[in-house]
Every structure is written in C-alpha cells, then in structure tokens.
Structure 1
C-alpha cells in the first residue's frame, strides 16, 4: 500500500452520525454491481455449485448478499450455505466418516483442532493462479499460506460506555486497571479467550507489545498477579461474544474487553460505545478448501473472487470483519476507517497471537495453549 494511501487513511475523528450515514448509504447501494460484470472473468466462469461454511444468522445473510450472490452472477456457480457455530468438529467428523460434504470452511488456527486437521492433510493447496493482480498485491504474503488464506481477522479490544465517561474514557489497558480515575464495573473474557485477558494484564503492567510472546510461566505468573488486582472490579467474566456489548447497553459494565466486529455492529445501530485500539489483540481466521470436497475447482474460484479488492470491501461492510486485502481500503467509506482493524493507524497499536507457539507441544504432551488454559482455570477457581 502506498504512503499516500496510508496517510489518507490515518483517520480523522469521526462522528457517530457520519458512520451511520455512510454505512447505511453503502449497504443500501448496489455496492458490488461492478463485481458481477467487470470481475466475471473467464478464469472464474463455471457451472454447478460450491458448498460454503459460515456462522449463520446475519453473518451468513450478509455473506450471501454481498459476496455469494454476486459470485453466482459473475461466475455462474451457485453457492450453497452450511452453517454452524464452528467448523472444526464437523470437519473432524467428516474425516472420520471418510465423506466430505463441504467445499470451503472457515477455521481458527489458534485452536488445537486446527493443528490436528492440518496434520491429517484435510486442506488442499490454494490455487493463487486464479487470483487477480490487485488481490495478490493487496493480500500480504503473510496471509497467503500454502493450504489456507486469511478469511478475516478480528480483534479483542477495550470498549467503553460513552455514557459512563462523558468527558472522555480510558485510552489503554493501564486506564482499564485504574479504577480511581475510571470507576465502574468491568468485564473481561474467560474460557477460550482467557489468553487475551492475560495479554491485556501484561500490557497494563507495562510489558511492551513486542515482548508478550512467548507466554512463558513467568509471564503467566505476572499476568495472573495483575489480574488479581482488577478481579474485585470485574462484574462478569464473559464467554460468549455477544455478552460484552449487551452488558454495556444494560450498564452492567462501564468498560470491557470485546470483539471488534461486535462493537462495530453495535455502533452502526447507534449504541453509544467507543473502541480503544491501543493494546488490541488480533486473531486470524482462515479460509480453507477441503480435500475430497465435491466441488473443489469451484471452491478455488470462490476464494479468488472473495479476495478481490471491491468484493473484500463488500465482505467487510457486510460482516463487520475485514478480510486481509488492504486494497479494499480504497473502496470503503472514509468514516468507517477508524473502526476496522486493518486501518494502518489501528493496526500499529495492536498485538498479535503467536499461533505456532500456542500450538507447540510441551514436554508433558500438552500444547502451550492447553497449559495456559489450565493455569487460567486453576486461578479462576481460587
């Protein structure tokens, strides 16, 4: 991405009204009209269908509206939706049964199930020869793996209720721990998202972002000691992604860790909350093509299509989670830029999980992720 574009995207402070107006205008417009014709190149043309996993609800509805239906118009390939909370258990069951019914799945590389599936050879190599030049240049090499490509990245970050802090709220995780200057009940993640809460504690304890990994036992000790300081002010240790925003709306929390896509969707609805990017923790999720799927060639074409810059922008608008193609920033409304994690200004303030280290096995045969989870559970039950 050029320095000129990067500078242009160092966003000005936006008003809630401008975000709502620009988002509504884009979502009501035929945003992907050009994608249906101009992007319907011969190498993506086909017939038949492709079976694509997604998460159901509004996510699948918007994926269909802004990506799947335009893909069908452009390529002549019908998209069949399959939905579940997560894909990995179904993929494992299909592998054990020796029958693959899906073509494309979104998987999370930071869970042990992914490593098991990867080692079993469940995923096909991605055919990057189908991708256009703008997609190959816009999607960083680090997001283009041999047998997976980043579908979207989400972040866990500090979000606060503007009603609780009309003169300005917390600006970082140190402020989150400062209950005197910023009073009120807190929320933090538990369960599978527990490593994030440990990371936030370390950042609040002045550990630089680049020094976070690895989460060795001494750092876990330090994180848990810091968490003990704020524990009396944590009204709830949430586990489901929808809980933090609802708790903010209900004034059960004055501030909380929260997934950025959930916060962005709430802001679009007019909920008076603000996102704080300093110290946000970024997670990646992968598109994969399943080996033995009924329509593998069509699956490759779908992934080539969804990663084109204009389609990637439509995906981001529809799902509230940005795909990796930075060239999409040219097609997104300027007032949305401060609210997405691939904005260069926001990205520069984030930390990122070291997936390979989390999935490494320890001497006792457990992964680092499993060990950290055990440490967390032991601390929570004290």
Structure 2
C-alpha cells in the first residue's frame, strides 16, 4: 500500500471514528410528566443544554417506576434521565432501577441538605397548598389560607377537590385537625393517628366534587367554577393565575416535596445524562427554572439570582420552608398501601 493510500485510509478511518463519537454524543433520552412542569424543564434546561452542548434531547412522558423495571429486565432501556418525586424515587431505589450518584459524578455540596438523595439530583421543591376561587372569595373578604380553612365548610362554603392519591392529603387532614406539622408523622405512626386522619377525610367527603388525578385538573376546576377550593401543587396554580384564571393561593400551610432527576440504571447515553445532571443543578440554572414555573430551587445559592417579585411565587424560600412539612417518602413506602386502600374505600362510598 502506498503512503498516499495509507494516508487516505487513515483519514477516512479517523473521520468515521469522529462521526461515530459525534453520533453517540448527540443523543439523550429524557422522560418526565408532561404539562406545565415538563414545559418549564424544556425551556429552562433542555433547550439551553442542547444548545450549549450539541446534545440532541428526545423527550418522553410517564416514567413510571414499573416501566423502568420492565425495560431493565428485558434489556430494552430507552430512557437516560427521568424525573421522579420523592415517593417514586424511593420506590425505584428499592426496585434497583436507578444508579447511585456519587459526589464525583455530580457535585451537590451547595444543595439544601434536607433535599439530598444518593440516587437523585434534586431539581426543584414544590408544595401542596390551598388554591381557591378569587371570585368566590375576593380580596377584602375572608379568604382561605390554611388546611383548617379548607376543612371549614361553614366559614368557606362550596365544593372542593382533592387528589385521588392520599399522600399530602392525609398530612393536610391532620394539620387541619390541629396536629402541629412537626408531629404529623409521629401521629400517623399509630393506628389511632391514621384513624384520626381518615375521620377527617370522611368529614370533608360530602363537599368533594371530584378527586383529581392530573395536576392540571384542580386548576381547571377552579377556573370553571366547578369547585371553589382545591388542594394542589403551587406551580400548577401559579400557571393558572398567570394565564388569567380567577385563582389565588393560601400559604398558611404547605406540604413540600422534592423533585429529582434520576439516572436510569443501564442508561444508553450515560455520559450525556451526567452532563445534564451537572447542568441542571448549577445555581444559575436553578434560578432560571423559577422563571418558567413557580417551583423553588434546591440550592440557597440560587436565591441571590432571583428577583424579589419572583421569590414571592416560590415555595422554597427560607421563610416558607420554616413552616412547611416535608413529605416523608419512607413513611409512604412502608405504610402507603394500607392507607391508600382505606382512602379509596372512603372515596368509593
């Protein structure tokens, strides 16, 4: 082979290797839960990440833990990064579907300590709060703010909506019945405490017009007048407010939850996935997320980058976190099935 031909072969081989590497580096499969939440992720993180890195991000929805387990079992893993709340993350950890994330993989020293998890990078904090119709309860007249107000149908009459999943609803029920937020899980650890919470669900049930499944449903129900009050996620309520719906929120009580970006075990584009995790957790990018949905950053380092007006929309300011109860995912993993069964029995009556 002549030196000229050898050079040509080497050049072609090098080009092929570069193309193969580029093809690999250009892909990332991401799955979340749709709606305003996934839209905010797209605008704040996925689009800028793709632009900055050249990685093409393909989106999907509904990353149920059972689906991920099935992918792993059949060696057909399609997703690289998925979003989960603390309960689903805990379930996924026990099923072995997420890869442990070490400090060498993602630096999380600046993340709020209570939000950290070895198997997920905390992406945002959101809260279950009272949402209400500003037509029914206008400014200048008594307005609901606390969970006790939600249960007070005499002072604040009208139909309500609650989630069909009892997580956060049971906590709100006990707080409405006078249990201090710090004592909620101590009370729920006893059969008498669970009975007490269920009595509260029985009490409010005649005023519950619907049991919502999707986070947009309580917003739409408030906007249409189907209900006058709802327990729901603050970011979804804020999206409704921003779109002009007659909705307000009460911050007297809140049950806070942490959202996570998790790395799927056996992810086909692991290196790109880690790049996204490191990108998302940077304080400046955490601050950017709050421009698109009213969920709060998981690092205090982001707050100096957020203007005062926007801070008032967020659930994870230091002031609001002081009075919030963080959902205990370990409790729900252990006690959840029995509580869900009782809750569903009440709903079905």
Q: Contact 2:237–2:249 at 8 Å: present in 1 too?
A: yes
Measure, in 2, the Cα distance between the counterparts of 1:151 and 1:371: 30
Q: Deviations over 1:323-351 (max 9, x none)?
A: 41222222223212222111122222211
Question: How do 1:326-365 residues align onto structure 2 when only pairs under 5 Å count?
Answer: 326-360=300-334
Equivalent in 170, 175, 179 of residue 198 of structure 1: 170
Q: Contact 1:277–1:350 at 8 Å: present in 2 too?
A: no
- Provide the residue aligned with 1:95 in structure 2: 72
- Provide the residue aligned with 2:254 in structure 1: 280
Equivalent in 256, 261, 275 of residue 235 of structure 2: 261
Measure, in 2, the Cα distance between the counterparts of 1:245 and 1:124: 35
Measure, in 2, the Cα distance between the counterparts of 1:200 and 1:59: 23
- Provide the residue aligned with 2:44 in structure 1: 66
CA RMSD of aligned residues (A): 2.3
TM-score normalised per structure 1: 0.77
Equivalent in 106, 109, 129 of residue 136 of structure 1: 109
Greater C-alpha Rg:
2
Q: Contact 2:145–2:253 at 8 Å: present in 1 too?
A: no
Question: How do 1:193-342 residues align onto structure 2 when only pairs under 5 Å count?
Answer: 194-214=166-186, 215=188, 216-342=190-316
Q: Deviations over 1:266-294 (max 9, x none)?
A: 12112232111222112223211122212
Provide closer, same or farther for how the CA distance between residues 91 and 344 of structure 1 changes in structure 2, counting only shifts above 3 A: same
Measure, in 2, the Cα distance between the counterparts of 1:121 and 1:221: 33
- Provide the residue aligned with 1:152 in structure 2: 124
Measure, in 1, the Cα distance between the counterparts of 2:42 and 2:200: 44
- Say which SS state the counterpart of residue 291 (structure 1) adopts: coil
- Provide the residue aligned with 1:37 in structure 2: none
1:369 partnered with 2:336: yes
Q: Contact 2:31–2:62 at 8 Å: present in 1 too?
A: no
- Say which SS state the counterpart of residue 240 (structure 1) adopts: coil
Q: Contact 1:162–1:168 at 8 Å: present in 2 too?
A: no
Measure, in 2, the Cα distance between the counterparts of 1:177 and 1:241: 21
- Provide the residue aligned with 1:78 in structure 2: 55
**Structure 1 gap segments, 5+ residues each:** 1-45, 361-367
Provide closer, same or farther for how the CA distance between residues 336 and 311 of structure 1 changes in structure 2, counting only shifts above 3 A: same
Provide closer, same or farther for how the CA distance between residues 144 and 352 of structure 1 changes in structure 2, counting only shifts above 3 A: closer
**Post-superposition shift, 1:124?**
2.0
- Say which SS state the counterpart of residue 193 (structure 2) adopts: helix
**Structure 2 gap segments, 5+ residues each:** 1-23
Q: Deviations over 1:48-86 (max 9, x none)?
A: 332222234554444333212322333x24132231123
TM-score normalised per structure 2: 0.84
Measure, in 2, the Cα distance between the counterparts of 1:329 and 1:284: 17
- Say which SS state the counterpart of residue 77 (structure 2) adopts: coil
**Post-superposition shift, 1:313?**
1.5
- Say which SS state the counterpart of residue 348 (structure 1) adopts: helix
Q: Deviations over 1:219-275 (max 9, x none)?
A: 121112223332222222323221111111111211111111110111211223211
**Post-superposition shift, 1:205?**
0.9
- Provide the residue aligned with 2:98 in structure 1: 123
Provide closer, same or farther for how the CA distance between residues 217 and 77 of structure 1 changes in structure 2, counting only shifts above 3 A: farther
- Provide the residue aligned with 1:165 in structure 2: 137
- Say which SS state the counterpart of residue 168 (structure 2) adopts: helix
Q: Contact 1:202–1:212 at 8 Å: present in 2 too?
A: yes
Q: Deviations over 1:168-226 (max 9, x none)?
A: 30121222222222222222222x2x232222221111011011104232112111222
Provide closer, same or farther for how the CA distance between residues 272 and 174 of structure 1 changes in structure 2, counting only shifts above 3 A: same
Measure, in 2, the Cα distance between the counterparts of 1:54 and 1:174: 33
